[in-house]
Amino acid sequence: QVQLVQSGAEVKKPGASVKVSCKASGYTFTAYYIHWVRQAPGQGLEWMGRINPSTGDRYYIQKFQGRVTMTRDTSISTAYMELSSLTSDDTAVYYCARDFLFEGYSGSEDYWGQGTLVTVSS
Amino acid sequence: DIQMTQSPSSLSVSVGDRVTITCRASESISRYLNWYQQKPGKAPKFLIYTASSLQTGVPSRFSGSGSGTDFTLTISSLQPEDFATYYCQQTYSTPQTFGQGTKVEIK
């Protein structure tokens, strides 16, 4: 069965960086885009960007450009999202999710990781 | 970016009620509209894609309709496990964007 398993909760100080991992199993990792979505406490869903695990091609929304880096390691079927220069506004649950479309791009997310809580606090 | 607006923001309903949630896009998105369900402390669950297609395993009491700018999610007879927050999402253009959510609560 398809699974995305994320790394554990993190507590960071303002100005630091965080790197969240997302290990995929149950499908061909390179055949589906991976999306990253975050959710601040009590708030809605915010799409951050996506990576093509096959080519490494990435897209970030403008809000995060310069601060976010999405990478992947195909040898271990794992995607990563690193966010730098953290502020309290970055406190959120960060999700990875698989795109719905096989060997294509739909923008829809059918399988999600369990989420990683990142807390930014001095 | 395309703005997605859901209404209502919350509603109180009883088991067995028919529930309708609307989602409006700031410009036409054809039928590139998804619906997700999220329960507290859990990841979102993919329910409906391209406005009206049910994802595998989703109960038939869920249905979606609409095109252009106006869309609807309907739950024909609300079950206890359906109390959750529902989000619409457009995938017509990048960046994909979500509505602010509609919380379905027990009356």
pLDDT digits (tens, 9 = 90+) for A59-89: 999 999 999 999 999 999 999 999 999 999 9
Phi/psi region, residue A10 (left: phi>0; alpha: psi -120 to 50; beta: rest), is: beta
State the pLDDT at residue A21. Answer: 98
* Residue numbers in chain B where pLDDT is lower than 70: none
Q: Looking at CA atoms only, how far is residue B48 from chain A in angstroms?
A: 10
Inter-chain contact A108–B101, Cβ cutoff 8 Å?
Answer: no
Closest residue in chain B to residue A107, using alpha carbons only: B91
Q: Are A83 and A93 in contact (CB under 8 A)?
A: no
Q: Looking at CA atoms only, how far is residue A107 from chain B in angstroms?
A: 5
**From the list B34, B43, B95, which residue is nearest A95 (CB)?**
B43
State the pLDDT at residue B107. Answer: 87
Q: What is the mean pLDDT of chain A?
A: 97
Confidence of residue A104 (pLDDT cuts 50, 70, 90): confident
Inter-chain contact A45–B44, Cβ cutoff 8 Å?
Answer: yes
Tokens of residue B101, six digits:
């959510």
Closest residue in chain A to residue B102, using alpha carbons only: A44
Q: Looking at CA atoms only, how far is residue A92 from chain B in angstroms?
A: 12
